[in-house]
Each structure stands twice: as structure tokens, then as C-alpha cells.
């Protein structure tokens, strides 16, 4: 691996370490709210709405209850493949000490769903990136996949062994075993990657560094402002309240407002810096056979009630 790519990956790892705790907490809260709204929509028989909300909740925070409820809604909507996939996940993560009646009911429901969908077991070299009908599945080894009956196209890409594609006819209630063979380019060699300009990566790296710098500074100042607000609140309490010490009270409110503002800037900076770093890694690490398009980038800080950073660009 080139030294440049090693440095890029190191920067990305550092950015993710800083951003992960903040983003995880926000995702958990959003996932919980979406789950509650999705269940309420299902009870009101608003199944399309319930499907959207539960699916997004599952993407943010996969769980047994979310998967089981999502499977129920998808089954009502006729999305048998998706329903089987999510119900199989719920069964896999069901704790061994959990209620056996619930597990048996889910297993019975899955058996009924499997009569209406096909199953595919894919055999290919380890490390192969696999797609089904153009949708990403994962990296081999791949577990059994549910598919809609009919034509199914399976593709794989392996940096060391080449590419491969096969199309099969999936039958409801049956499992097809597919041996995905990989082949290299003409004359046994892979085509050379296209040359691309390096300066967009430099710009993204600069934006990433700037975003992380702004984010860290914002969080540090936010902590200081929170401490100031607490100190002023104690002084107001010991001084007899806002009527007795109105200036201290006003200073405390200002410190609290500043804390919220800098916290927003800090989170936005870390998110923007991480996004830019990821964009840089993708730009450098993934070759493109297409001509490099016209490149434009705009980086705009925002302040006020919705503090943050606006990053827009095309590469």
C-alpha cells in the first residue's frame, strides 16, 4: 500500500474515533423515536409509513424488536423477501434466555414466508465483493440470501482474482447453490486504473482537517461555557436569585446560549470533517474508468440557531 494511502487511512481512523461517540448517541435517540412512531403507524394500519420509519430505525440501530415489527409490516405489504430477511435476523439475535414462545412463533412465520421466496447460497473466493441484482450484499464468505422468484443476477469483484457475473432463475421455496467464477481482464491482466487529478483529494483533506479543527475547538469552548454557566448559576442562587443579581443572571443565560452554539458548531465540524475525510479516501482509493468530471467545492460555515458547516461539491 502506498504511503499516501496509509496516511489517508490514519487520518480517517482518527476522525472516526472523534466522531463515533457523538454520532452513535444521536443515532440511538433517532432510532428509538422512529421505532415508536413506526409501531404507532402500524397499529393505525398506516403500513407504508410504518415500513419507512421502522426500516430507517433498523438502519440506525438494528434490534430484534425492530426487525420483527418491520417483517410483520413488510409481509402485509407483500414484500415477502424483505420480510423473510428481517425475520431471519430477529431469529438469529434472539437471546438463548428469551421467551421460547416468541421464538417458535417467529420460526413458524419464517417457514411460511420461505414458501414464497427463493434462496441463494453463493460460493466464491473469500474477500470477493458480492452484489445481487445490482444491490450490495457484502464480502465473501456470504450467508444464504433470500431473493424474489425469477431472474437473479449475481456479480462479484475481487482485486486479486478478477470479476464474475452469473444469472439464474430463482424458484419459490427452493435453494439454489451458485458457484461464482471470477476472471481477470484480457491477457490475464487487470486493466490499469484511470489517471485522476490529485488536487480534489488535497482540497478534501484540507476541508477535513479544518472541519475537525473547528469541531474540536467548538467542543472545547462548549465545555468551558457550560462550566461558566454552572458557576454563574451557583452565584445567582447564593446571591438571592435573578431579582437580586440581574447582571449575573443575564451572564449565566448568555453563557448557556454560547454553550449550545459552540456545541452545535463542534458537532457539525466533526461531522463535516469526517465526511470530507471519507470523501478523500474514496477518491484516492477507488479507481475510476470514467473521465474526471468538472470539479467544484463550496465550504460554508453557518452560525446562529442552526450552527454548523455546509459542504457541497462534485468530483
3-state secondary structure the chain: CCHHHHHHHHHHHHHHHHHHHHHHHHHHHHHHHHHHHHHHHHHCCCHHHHHHHHHHHHHHCCCHHHHHHHHHHHHHCCCHHHHHHHHHHHHHHCCCCCCHHHHHHHHHHHHHHHCCCEEEEEECCCCCEEEECCEEEEECCCCCEEECCEEEEEEEEECCCEEEEEEEEECCCCEEEEECCCECCHHHCCCCCCCCCCHHHHHHHHHHHHHHHHHHHHHHHHHHHHHHHHHHHHHHHHCCCCCCCHHHHHHHHHHHHHHHHHHHHHHHHHHHHHHHHHHHHHHHHCCCCCCCCCCEEEEEEECCCCCEEEEEEEC
- pLDDT, residue 127, reads 94
Q: How far is CA 274 from CA 70, 72, 110, 138, 270, in A?
A: 31, 36, 40, 23, 6
> Which is nearest to 181 in space by CA: 133, 140, 143, 151?
140
- pLDDT, residue 17, reads 64
- pLDDT, residue 249, reads 74
- pLDDT, residue 199, reads 66
- pLDDT, residue 139, reads 95
- pLDDT tens per residue, the chain (315 residues)? 455 556 556 665 665 565 556 666 777 889 999 999 999 999 999 999 999 999 999 999 999 999 999 999 999 999 999 999 999 999 999 998 888 999 999 999 999 999 999 999 999 999 999 999 999 999 999 989 999 999 999 999 999 999 999 999 999 999 999 999 999 865 444 555 555 677 677 877 787 788 778 878 877 887 888 888 778 777 767 777 777 777 877 887 887 888 788 888 878 878 887 887 787 777 777 655 544 444 444 545 454 444 445 545 554
For β-strands 296-302 and 175-179, DSSP reports them as unpaired
All structural domains of the chain with their residue ranges: 16-116, 117-185, 199-314
Question: What number does CATH give the domain 117-185?
Answer: 2.60.40.2070
- pLDDT, residue 233, reads 75
Q: How far is CA 108 from CA 102, 173, 262, 301, in A?
A: 10, 15, 53, 54
Question: What number does CATH give the domain 16-116?
Answer: 1.25.40.10
Amino acid at each position: 500500500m502506498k504511503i499516501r494511502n496509509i496516511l489517508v487511512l490514519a487520518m480517517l481512523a482518527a476522525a472516526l474515533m472523534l466522531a463515533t461517540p457523538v454520532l452513535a448517541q444521536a443515532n440511538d435517540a433517532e432510532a428509538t423515536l422512529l421505532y415508536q412512531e413506526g409501531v404507532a403507524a402500524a397499529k393505525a394500519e398506516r403500513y407504508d409509513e410504518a415500513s419507512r420509519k421502522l426500516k430507517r430505525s433498523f438502519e440506525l440501530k438494528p434490534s430484534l424488536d425492530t426487525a420483527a415489527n418491520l417483517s410483520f409490516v413488510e409481509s402485509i405489504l407483500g414484500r415477502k423477501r424483505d420480510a423473510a430477511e428481517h425475520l431471519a435476523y430477529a431469529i438469529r439475535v434472539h437471546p438463548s434466555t428469551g421467551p421460547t414462545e416468541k421464538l417458535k412463533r417467529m420460526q413458524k412465520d419464517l417457514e411460511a414466508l420461505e414458501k414464497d421466496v427463493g434462496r441463494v447460497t453463493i460460493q466464491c473466493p473469500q474477500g470477493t465483493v458480492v452484489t445481487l441484482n445490482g444491490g450490495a450484499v457484502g464480502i465473501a464468505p456470504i450467508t444464504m440470501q433470500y431473493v424474489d422468484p425469477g431472474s437473479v443476477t449475481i456479480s462479484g469483484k475481487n482485486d486479486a482474482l478478477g470479476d464474475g457475473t452469473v444469472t439464474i432463475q430463482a424458484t419459490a421455496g427452493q435453494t439454489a447453490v451458485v458457484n461464482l467464477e471470477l476472471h481477470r481482464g484480457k491477457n490475464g491482466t487487470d486493466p490499469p486504473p484511470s489517471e485522476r487529478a490529485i488536487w480534489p483529494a488535497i482540497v478534501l483533506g484540507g476541508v477535513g482537517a479544518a472541519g475537525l479543527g473547528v469541531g474540536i475547538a467548538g467542543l472545547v469552548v462548549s465545555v468551558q461555557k457550560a462550566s461558566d454557566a454552572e458557576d454563574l448559576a451557583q452565584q445567582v442562587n447564593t446571591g438571592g436569585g435573578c431579582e437580586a443579581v440581574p447582571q449575573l443572571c443575564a451572564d449565566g443565560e448568555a453563557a448557556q446560549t454560547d454553550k449550545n452554539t459552540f456545541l452545535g458548531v463542534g458537532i457539525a465540524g466533526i461531522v463535516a470533517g469526517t465526511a470530507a475525510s471519507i470523501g478523500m479516501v474514496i477518491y484516492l482509493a477507488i479507481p475510476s474508468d470514467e473521465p474526471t468530471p468538472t470539479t467544484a467545492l463550496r465550504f460554508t460555515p453557518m452560525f446562529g440557531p442552526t450552527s454548523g458547516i455546509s459542504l457541497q461539491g462534485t468530483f
